[in-house]
């Protein structure tokens, strides 16, 4: 009983202890699970209206687009500027996917599976697919649906295990290529549905059609005189603070800005020194002598040139102008160069000349490596020698996707043949008689090859081409780096940066605004790293040295621009210039009117200018030849009567006085229905762009890419 009483007396304390234990258990569990939450937060590259875009999804899309670029360009190297554009394009696409899906969901619209099927292999093939060269008929150049269906059948083959590893890799690449375009086709369809709906709601009326027709119906020829605003010093024009503030309030919505950093930087070119040029010149002369006497020419080229030796004949049309000029006058064995231009030396040697077809048309039957291909090839050769149909046998036995087209591969030059398969393939197709079938082996399997057509004989040339670019040596590289490093080590005061840099022989570029989404600083290639650094540092900080392609760059943060509206101080200079120009226009026009001048020549003399002329101006002319964009002048010309001297017109760049000397209406009848149709087509793109841009502007987008890229 005593024990129970003690427990009762301590019950309050016990509840607290148990409660704390439970709380510790719960919060511990939360923190453990929360590590996943925080990890997910760290992996979030963006958020659009509450929907996350993870770094994994984003990178997968980038990888997809990269592979598509490599397939379409035939290059395995992706230039950094392309990579930056690709990242931005992928991001924009993912954002649009989300906002368009939201917009269509609210409207009860979607892109269903049946609709997508119809666009990729049904009766209404997407224009994106129809414009792909791989699905064009080689003879007509038109879209060939059969080629598309054959491609889809090939990449959907369940028996992929029967193919060689190289073929399996090609099929996987082709399938990923297709899936990439399917996603883009779906997004384009979503955008098309949304913008079509808006387009129907914003129909062109008869007044719009008539006004649009009238804008271009009549054109005018004028003579004019102009006084530039630069003829009056800015210092003579007074603009008050109040006037600037008033114009700022009127324009404020134009000054919305994202968060930004204001930076200054020093960029130093990484260029070869005189010592580098002298050394390169000596080496090139030595290589020229070696090329002139070498028996193994390919070895000399491959050891010294940036471009590997190509053992093939080229037609004149395939050569660049410098090479073409050389081969047409040279004899076999002649040497050209070394020629030097844009830091590059070039040396040519004419190896051989020939008169032969430039291209041949080839078909083949490919038999994959499976242990039985040799016996099957021998059997098929026997059938062909007995008069068998090559195209029919290709459709039945070839494992290549050309099988559905009777084995036809298309036209090959010697260079294309080398890149397409191998040296033996090139030799066979240019030496075998027409319609004779020959065998060859490759890493893909056994091929039965037939040449079906040849182009006419033309002069062709085999050339050794050595290209050597002079680059900075490691010593030069180190010297440039060390000199810049010594400067920034001694000069860490951003306020004195301009002065000290000038003394050291460097040029400072100041007041450059960058946002988190910018990919480059000015025209400096591969400079995204500078922007990332700037957003990780505050004002006054000077960076270490960045290497941006062919430049060393040192940056400094001048300040931070907060998201919102640009301050009056940041736009004051531009607003003041605009107000000064406006007041100059008023002053010049007022002074000219007071002189009561009666001729254009008199106006020209008073303006200190001369009489000039322009033809074919109408209301819709965007830029007047020799004058530029002057919308107010356009409007006044369209209203003016021929033969009458205008009053002074204050434009964007100066004050104009003109006289219409001729007006002419086009000899075309007004067709209301046709004009409405033309306007609707013209507006469709504008509506689409503005609609998507409006949705993007309204969406709540948190962009964290600066943390990753």
Instruction: Please name every residue paired with 263 in a beta bridge, in sequence order, or none if there are none.
Output: 512, 557
| 3-class state of residue 471 by DSSP | coil
pLDDT at 598: 94
Residues with Cβ < 8 Å from 536, sequence gap 6 or more? none
Contact 484, 464 (CB under 8 A): no
Encode pLDDT of 624-646 as tens digits: 999 999 999 999 999 999 999 99
Helical axes 568-594 vs 600-607, angle rounded to 10°: 130
d(CA 149, CA 589): 70
pLDDT at 161: 67
Encode pLDDT of 472-485 as tens digits: 999 999 999 999 99
Encode pLDDT of 137-196 as tens digits: 766 778 888 888 888 887 877 666 666 777 777 788 888 888 888 888 988 888 888 888
Residue 38 pLDDT > 60, yes or no?
no
Contact 347, 291 (CB under 8 A): yes
d(CA 238, CA 295): 81
Return the CATH architecture of domain 359-454: Roll (3.10)
pLDDT at 462: 95
Q: In sequence order, what DSSP letters do the residues of 188-240 get, joined into one string?
A: HHHHHHHHHHHHHHT---HHHHHHHHHHHHEEEEEEEEEEEGGGS-GGG----
Encode pLDDT of 273-286 as tens digits: 999 999 999 999 99
**What is the pTM assigned to this prediction?**
0.68
Q: Which of 64-68, 177-181, 367-371 has the lowest mean pLDDT?
A: 367-371
d(CA 114, CA 430): 48
- CATH number for region 259-271+473-562: 3.10.50.40
Give me the long-range contacts of 566-573 (CB less than 8 A, separation at least 24).
566/255, 566/256, 566/257, 568/244, 568/245, 568/248, 571/248, 571/251, 571/255, 572/244, 572/248
What are φ and ψ of residue 364, in 5° steps? -150, 160
Residue 74 pLDDT > 80, yes or no?
no
Residue 49 pLDDT > 90, yes or no?
yes
Kindly state the tokens that stand for 369. Answer: 């490596």
Residue 456 carries which DSSP code? P
Encode pLDDT of 504-533 as tens digits: 999 999 999 999 989 899 889 989 999 999
pLDDT band at 52 (very low <50, low <70, confident <90, very high): very high
Considering only residues 616 and 33, tell me which one the structure prediction assigns the higher pLDDT.
616
Residue 33 pLDDT > 50, yes or no?
no
d(CA 415, CA 429): 12
Residues with Cβ < 8 Å from 132, sequence gap 6 or more? 181
Residue 6 pLDDT > 70, yes or no?
no
């Amino acid at each position: 009983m005593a024990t129970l009483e003690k427990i009762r007396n301590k019950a309050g304390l016990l509840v607290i202890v148990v409660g704390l234990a439970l709380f510790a258990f719960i919060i511990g569990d939360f923190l453990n699970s929360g590590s996943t939450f925080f990890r997910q937060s760290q992996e979030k590259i963006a958020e659009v209206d509450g929907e996350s875009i993870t770094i994994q999804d984003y990178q997968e899309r980038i990888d997809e687009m990269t592979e598509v670029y490599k397939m379409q360009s035939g290059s395995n190297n992706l230039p950094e500027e392309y990579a930056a554009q690709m990242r931005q394009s992928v991001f924009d696409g993912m954002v649009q996917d989300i906002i368009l899906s939201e917009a269509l969901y609210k409207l009860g619209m979607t892109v269903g599976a049946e609709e997508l099927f119809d666009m990729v292999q049904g009766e209404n093939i997407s224009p994106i697919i129809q414009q792909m060269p791989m699905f064009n008929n080689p003879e007509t150049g038109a879209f060939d649906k059969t080629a598309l269906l054959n491609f889809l059948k090939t990449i959907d083959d369940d028996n992929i295990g029967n193919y060689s590893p190289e073929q399996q890799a090609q099929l996987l690449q082709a399938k990923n290529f297709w899936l990439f375009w399917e996603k883009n086709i779906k997004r384009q369809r979503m955008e098309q549905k949304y913008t079509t709906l808006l387009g129907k709601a914003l129909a062109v009326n008869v007044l719009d059609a008539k006004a649009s027709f009238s804008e271009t119906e009549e054109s005018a020829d004028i003579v004019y005189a102009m006084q530039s605003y630069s003829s009056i010093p800015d210092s003579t024009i007074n603009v008050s603070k109040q006037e600037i503030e008033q114009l700022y309030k009127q324009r404020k919505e134009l000054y919305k800005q994202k968060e930004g950093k204001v930076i200054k930087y020093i960029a130093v070119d990484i260029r070869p020194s005189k010592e580098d040029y002298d050394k390169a010149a000596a080496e090139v002369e030595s290589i020229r002598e070696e090329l002139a006497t070498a028996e193994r020419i390919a070895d000399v080229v491959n050891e010294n040139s940036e471009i590997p030796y190509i053992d093939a004949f080229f037609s004149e049309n395939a050569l660049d102008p410098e090479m073409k000029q050389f081969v047409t006058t040279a004899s076999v064995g002649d040497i050209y160069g070394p020629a030097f231009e844009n830091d590059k030396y070039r040396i040519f040697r004419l190896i051989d000349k020939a008169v032969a077809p430039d291209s041949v048309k080839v078909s083949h039957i490919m038999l994959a490596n499976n242990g039985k291909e040799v016996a099957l090839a021998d059997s098929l050769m026997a059938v062909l020698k007995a008069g068998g149909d090559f195209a029919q046998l290709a459709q039945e036995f070839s494992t290549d996707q050309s099988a559905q087209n009777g084995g036809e591969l298309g036209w090959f030059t010697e260079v294309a043949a080398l890149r397409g398969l191998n040296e033996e393939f090139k030799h066979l197709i240019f030496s075998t008689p027409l319609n004779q079938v020959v065998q060859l082996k490759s890493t893909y399997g056994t091929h039965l090859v037939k040449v079906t057509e040849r182009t006419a004989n033309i002069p062709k040339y085999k050339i050794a081409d050595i290209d050597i670019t002079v680059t900075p040596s490691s010593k030069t590289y180190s010297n440039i780096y060390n000199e810049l490093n010594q400067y920034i080590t001694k000069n860490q005061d951003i306020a004195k940066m301009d002065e000290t840099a000038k003394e050291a022989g460097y040029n400072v570029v100041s007041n450059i605004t960058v946002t988190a989404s910018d990919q480059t600083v000015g025209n400096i290639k591969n400079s995204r790293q500078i922007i990332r650094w700037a957003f990780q540092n505050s004002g006054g900080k000077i960076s270490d040295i960045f290497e941006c392609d062919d430049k060393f760059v040192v940056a400094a943060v001048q300040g931070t621009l907060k998201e919102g509206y640009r301050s009056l101080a940041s736009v004051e200079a531009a607003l003041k210039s605009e107000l000064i120009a406006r007041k100059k226009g008023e002053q010049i026009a007022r002074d000219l009117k007071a002189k009561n001048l009666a001729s254009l020549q008199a106006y020209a003399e008073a303006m200190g200018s001369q009489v000039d002329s322009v033809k074919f101006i109408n209301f819709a002319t965007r830029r007047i030849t020799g004058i530029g964009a002057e919308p107010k002048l356009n409007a006044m010309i369209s209203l003016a009567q021929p033969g009458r001297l205008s009053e002074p017109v204050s434009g964007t760049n100066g004050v104009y006085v003109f006289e219409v000397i001729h007006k002419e209406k086009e000899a075309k009848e007004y067709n209301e229905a046709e004009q409405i149709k033309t306007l609707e087509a013209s507006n469709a793109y504008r509506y689409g762009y503005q609609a998507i841009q409006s949705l993007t502007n309204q969406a709540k987008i948190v962009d964290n890419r600066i943390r990753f890229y």
